[in-house]
């Protein structure tokens, strides 16, 4: 098996052959029953105080097309799309998920950004997770529970280097790891889809480590 930063217990790691990026996909980190249970706990049980934050996009104030929540160690402050986020303290369900993820990817995290896409109409636009507080080569582990959604990646120089965007359908219970130069050289998005095609919700958790300045 190719050298990865991940724990070697996962025989089903798919390494994506991308130029200027280190990306791995673990289709089944959580069983379907666990993933369904976590989706219910996070999205439907009232455990998470979901917010729909206003953000600044190209100088204009907009409402995010999804719900979010930010948890982490007390010092893990984060600035994201012009929002200054102070983390909520870890709750038991997130600690439980974090332990599984940390063991699988052999890395510890001090924060997690939660996104709740209520159906296909909710989305996230093109961006890189390249905020200075994540460091220059962050390792980000992204967990999905609920409806499968397409995750699309494009190289920042795709217009001139001929590299094609790639689309990864992220399954419920899966883990996508982005590391190395991925955030420097690539962007990603979660495009909008029709509600008829995707009537159900999806919760995404991106575990990150904020450098404490």
Ligand X SMILES: O=C(O)CCC(=O)C(=O)O
Radius of gyration (Cα) for the chain, nearest Å? Answer: 16
Identity of the residue, 102 or 129, whose beta carbon is nearer to ligand X in the bound complex:
129
Q: Which is nearer to Mn ion, 31 or 56 (CB)?
A: 56
Can you tell me the distance from the alpha carbon of 18 to that of 153, in angstroms, rounded to the nearest whole number? 10
Distance in Å, CB of 42 to Mn ion, minimum: 18
142 binds, among ligand X, Mn ion, none (CB under 5 to 8 A by kind): ligand X
The runs of H, that is alpha helices, within the chain are: 32-39, 92-105, 158-161, 182-185
105, 204, 207, 209: which one contacts ligand X (CB under 6 A)?
A: 204
Is 124 a residue that touches ligand X (CB under 6 A)?
A: yes
Rounded Cα–Cα distance for residues 74 and 76 (Å):
6
190, 198, 207, 210: residue in contact with ligand X (rule CB under 6 A): 190
Q: Please tell me the total number of residues recorded for the chain in this structure.
A: 213
Strands 140-146 and 202-208: antiparallel
Alpha helices in 6-76 (DSSP H): 32-39
Q: Cβ distance 206 to 151 under 8 Å?
A: no
* Cβ closest to ligand X, residue 30 vs residue 151: 151
Mask for 134-173, x = binds ligand X (CB under 6 A): --------x--------x------------------x---
> CA 52 to CA 152: how far, in whole Å?
23
Closest to ligand X by CB, 116 vs 163, is 116
Give the residues lining the site for Mn ion (CB under 5 A): 129
Give the residues lining the site for ligand X (CB under 6 A): 113, 115, 124, 129, 142, 151, 170, 188, 190, 204, 206
């Amino acid at each position: 098996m190719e050298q990865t930063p991940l724990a070697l217990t996962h025989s089903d790691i798919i390494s994506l052959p991308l130029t200027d990026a280190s990306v791995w996909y673990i289709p089944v980190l959580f069983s379907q029953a666990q993933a369904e249970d976590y989706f219910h706990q996070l999205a439907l049980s009232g455990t998470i105080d979901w917010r729909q934050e206003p953000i600044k996009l190209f100088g204009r104030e907009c409402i995010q097309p999804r719900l979010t929540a930010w948890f982490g160690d007390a010092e893990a402050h984060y600035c994201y799309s012009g929002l200054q986020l102070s983390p909520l303290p870890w709750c038991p369900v997130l600690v439980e998920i974090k332990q599984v993820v940390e063991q699988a990817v052999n890395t510890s995290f001090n924060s997690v950004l939660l996104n709740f896409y209520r159906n296909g109409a909710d989305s996230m636009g093109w961006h890189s997770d390249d905020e200075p507080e994540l460091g220059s080569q962050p390792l980000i582990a992204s967990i999905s529970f609920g409806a499968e959604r397409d995750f699309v990646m494009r190289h920042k120089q795709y217009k001139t280097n001929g590299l094609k965007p790639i689309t990864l359908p992220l399954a419920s219970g899966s883990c996508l790891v982005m590391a190395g130069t991925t955030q420097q050289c690539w962007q990603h998005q979660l495009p909008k889809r029709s509600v008829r095609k995707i009537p159900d919700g999806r919760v995404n958790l991106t575990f990150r480590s904020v450098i404490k300045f």
